[in-house]
Structure 1
């Protein structure tokens, strides 16, 4: 079972499809900046790609990547038209990198891959980056949005839970929202080894370490009370963005189906958890959808009115 979970967690994140082309509007790349922002943990700097809002708004959405985040540009830019949110009155912030990081502050560098620095993503996203954005662009340190997919969906809820002043809205798309459930720490360990040879012990220690519970949205749920949230997972059944032709396409689609089915199970459990606590959230469980970028792009645009209303953009 652990090997199955791990295989599902890893395989489809590198297998994505581009969504529809951006609508013909003003080009947000006319308001684009690429900055290298000082970061803790010995990494030196982290690349951040920024699209400024077309109306001068000082509110932003931070977009978090999945397990196989690359160091060139975010998957959100690779695979979607998310930058075009900037044409709708929201500053779009895409931090680059963080493969297998869960956007968390780690205990130590990963020794399996001789990592030369310690991930300190939570500190970066809640201290260094907002300070940089405020100082250079006048973007508010408060009342922003954070949205992530898969690994980033988990991180979005955790960041919002512990940094309520900074984030007034959180979106989790196909996130794994109960990391300390039986079998999940072990599955994540195997997945992180496959995605960059990262050692999860360097992240949060062994599965019984309190850090696993601290980063588990299921456990942290009481701290989400009153926070506007958009939480989504597909059914795992193929839909519009699943058009297999070659044998490898069918293999990739099967992986994406399994991964999304697992995400749906965890999201449904999280829905029950919030309901028992009397905490409201918007849940969207489409009848079709696998673990692919096209579905996440659709969800991002669907949540835009709620996102903007929540942060005052």
Structure 2
């Protein structure tokens, strides 16, 4: 197990990935994490009632959210008159409140060469920085400090918001909506970890988190305890039904899309070699969640399993295009 798990049609403008000048930085202080940046994109019609939080994947960067770097989804959402909030940072965090700062063998963060930003997860395991020099408290930030700052400073509606994400952000979106139903009426997961207590999943996540920044899953949530089970959509599925949360879950087949082939041959081959097995795993995980929800008689879920789609931004961008009409109808 290598990594993630991760209607109507939307006519989208041409992709203009990278820094989007229509957004602005919005800083909020977290009691434990310090100043945290989000990127905010205002709805084209100026309303403050319709809001969606857009969550990144496991390799979240510290400068911009991956959705802004790799897609034009913020621009499309603005066109649907939806205000967009993109938290920045939180690599391997699962947007959770962690049990403790990430560390190994009781070694203090920032020790020796491991403190350098080498790009290798193993060499960074004993380093300092986000989630290591302090405890991650992302759930508290998103549902408390950021939520009320958006209301008080921008007038954003703090209720009936949407939330969606990919990979770790997908499972986090369902978790946030399950435990904060007044804030989130809609949750979307693309290639998400939706059955993390299945055999082998914890060790698969352990390997993924080590690779993505050198983080220790045991510091996020102790093995098989209440904190871990609280994060498992397969376990809290009845809560999503009881809340009547509108849920959208998607995973690709692992076959490349046309966009994946319309790039230089070497890059396309690399994308397919990496993205096919990961998305196949995501698909199996998401199908297990589907079976669980169907066994409970859930009528509040849309399932999206396109015939092509790798574990790649091409897939997730198209997932978002298909989801947006349903999101729009279930927030505000």
Specify which of 60, 68, 74 is matched with residue 69 of structure 1: 60
Residue aligned with 1:311, SS: coil
- 1:165 Cα shift? 0.3
- 1:248 Cα shift? 5.3
CA contact (8 A) 1:48 1:94 kept: yes
Partner of 2:108: none
Deviates more, 1:32-41 or 1:160-169: 32-41
Deviation string for 1:110-151 (max 9, x for gaps)?
114341111000000000111110011110110000000011
Partner of 2:45: 55
5 Å-filtered alignment, 1:115-264, equals 115-205=132-222, 207-225=223-241, 226-243=244-261, 245-247=264-266, 249-264=268-283
Deviation string for 1:7-33 (max 9, x for gaps)?
x449xx9xxxxx97349xxxx844x32
Alpha-carbon distance in 2 for matches of 1:249, 1:304: 28
Deviation string for 1:190-249 (max 9, x for gaps)?
1111111111111002x2222111100000100101111111000111112322644454
Runs of 5+ unmatched residues, structure 2: 7-11, 104-125
Partner of 1:16: none
- 1:166 Cα shift? 0.2
Normalising by structure 2, report the TM-score: 0.84
Deviation string for 1:54-103 (max 9, x for gaps)?
22222211000000000000000000001211122100000000100000
Give structure 1 regions of 4+ aligned residues with deviation exceeding 6 angstroms: none
Runs of 5+ unmatched residues, structure 1: 14-18
Specify which of 95, 99, 109 is matched with residue 103 of structure 1: 95
Matched, 1:21 2:21: no
CA contact (8 A) 1:157 1:172 kept: yes
Normalising by structure 1, report the TM-score: 0.89
Alpha-carbon distance in 2 for matches of 1:22, 1:153: 22
CA contact (8 A) 2:260 2:314 kept: no
Residue aligned with 2:306, SS: coil
Partner of 1:94: 86
Alpha-carbon distance in 1 for matches of 2:197, 2:156: 35
Alpha-carbon distance in 2 for matches of 1:9, 1:278: 27
Alpha-carbon distance in 1 for matches of 2:303, 2:267: 32
Alpha-carbon distance in 2 for matches of 1:81, 1:40: 32
How many positions carry a matched residue from both structures? 293
Deviation string for 1:275-297 (max 9, x for gaps)?
11111210010011111111211
- 1:304 Cα shift? 1.3
